[in-house]
Chain A
Amino acid sequence: MEAIAENTAKVDNMIDTKKDVQNNSPESADLSNLETVGIPFSDNAKMSMRDVDVFYGDKQAIHGVGLDIGQNEVLAMIGPSGCGKSTFLRCLNRMNDTIDICKVTGSLQLEGQDIYDPKLDVVPLRARVGMVFQKPNPFPKSIYDNVAYGPRIHGLVSRRAELDEIVETSLQRAGLWNEVKDRLHAPGTGLSGGQQQRLCIARTIAVSPEVILMDEPCSALDPIATAKIEELIAELSENFTIAIVTHSMQQAARVSNRTAYFHLGKLVEVNETEKVFTNPDHSLTEAYITGRFG
Chain B
Amino acid sequence: MASAPENQKTIELVNQNLAKRYRAEKRFRAYGIASIGFGLLCLLFLFTDIIGKGHTAFLTTYVKLNVELSTDALDIYDVNDPQQIAGADYQGVLKKALRERFPEVTGRRDKRALYGIVSSGAGFEIRTLIEQQPELLNTTLDLWVLADDDYDTYYKSRSSDEGAYTGRFNEKQISWIETLIADGAVEKRLNTTFFNAGDSREPEQAGIRGAIMGSLFTLLVTLALSFPIGVASAVYLEEYAKKNKFTDFIEVNINNLAAVPSIIFGLLGLAIFINFFEMPRSIPLVGGFVLTLMTLPTIIISSRAAIKAVPPSIREAAMGIGASKMQVILHHVLPLAMPGMLTGAIIGMAQALGETAPLLMIGMVAFIVDVPGSISDPSTVLPVQIFLWSDSPERAFVEKTSAAIMVLLGFLIIMNTLAVWLRKRLERRW
Interface residues of A (CB under 8 A from B): 71-72, 121, 123-124, 127-128, 153-156, 207-210, 238-240
Contact in complex: A207, B17 (CB < 8 Å): no
Q: Which residues of B contact A154 (CB under 8 A)?
A: 10, 13-14, 17
Chain A contacts for B20, CB-based, 8 A: 155
Please give, as numbers and ranges, the residues of chain A lying within 8 Å of B7 by CB-CB distance.
128, 208-210
Contacts of A238 in B (CB 8 A): 2
Alpha-carbon distance between A240 and B6 when the two chains are bound, in angstroms: 12
On chain A, the residues within 8 Å of B11 by CB distance are: 124, 127-128
B321 touches A (CB below 8 Å): no
Question: DSSP class of A's interface residues: helix, strand, loop or mixed?
Answer: loop
Main secondary structure of the interface of B (DSSP, over half): helix
B residues whose Cβ falls under 8 Å from a Cβ of A: 1-3, 6-7, 10-11, 13-18, 20-21
Cα(A121)–Cα(B14), bound, Å: 11
Distance A10 CA – B20 CA, assembled complex (angstroms): 46
8 A-B pairs in the complex with CB atoms less than 8 angstroms apart: A128-B11, A153-B21, A154-B14, A154-B17, A155-B14, A208-B10, A239-B2, A239-B3
Q: What chain A residues lie within 8 Å of B21 (beta carbons)?
A: 123, 153, 155
Pair B3/A127 contact, Cβ less than 8 Å: no
Closest Cβ of chain A to B1, distance in Å, is 7
B17 & A72 in contact (Cβ 8 Å cutoff): no
A155 touches B3 (CB 8 A): no
B16 contacts which of A121, A153, A155, A208 (Cβ < 8 Å)?
A155
Q: In this complex, what residue of A is CB-closest to B16?
A: A155
With A156-B10, A207-B10: A124-B3 Cβ-Cβ less than 8 Å: no
In the bound assembly, the distance between CA atoms of A238 and B3 in angstroms comes to 9
Partner of B10, one of A71, A127, A153, A239: A127
Instruction: State which of B3, B15, B17, B18 has its C-beta within 8 Å of the C-beta of A208.
Output: B3
Task: List 18 extra interface pairs beyond A72-B1, A155-B14, CB under 8 A.
Answer: A121-B18, A124-B11, A124-B14, A124-B18, A127-B14, A154-B10, A154-B13, A154-B14, A154-B17, A155-B13, A155-B17, A155-B20, A156-B14, A208-B3, A208-B7, A209-B7, A239-B2, A240-B3
Bound together, the chains give a CA A208 to CA B16 distance in angstroms of 16
**Which residues of B have CB within 8 Å of A72?**
1
Distance in Å from the Cβ of A210 to the closest Cβ of chain B? 5
Q: B13: which A residues are within 8 A, CB to CB? A: 154-156
Chain B residues, CB < 8 A from A208 = 3, 6-7, 10
Q: What 6 pairs across the A-B complex have the smallest Cβ distances?
A: A155-B17, A239-B3, A124-B14, A127-B14, A154-B14, A208-B10
B contact residues around A240 at 8 Å (CB) = 3
Q: How far is the CB of B407 from chain A (nearest CB, A)?
A: 42
Closest to A154 in B: B14
Contact partners of B16 in chain A: CB under 8 A: 155
A209 to B6, CA, bound (A): 9
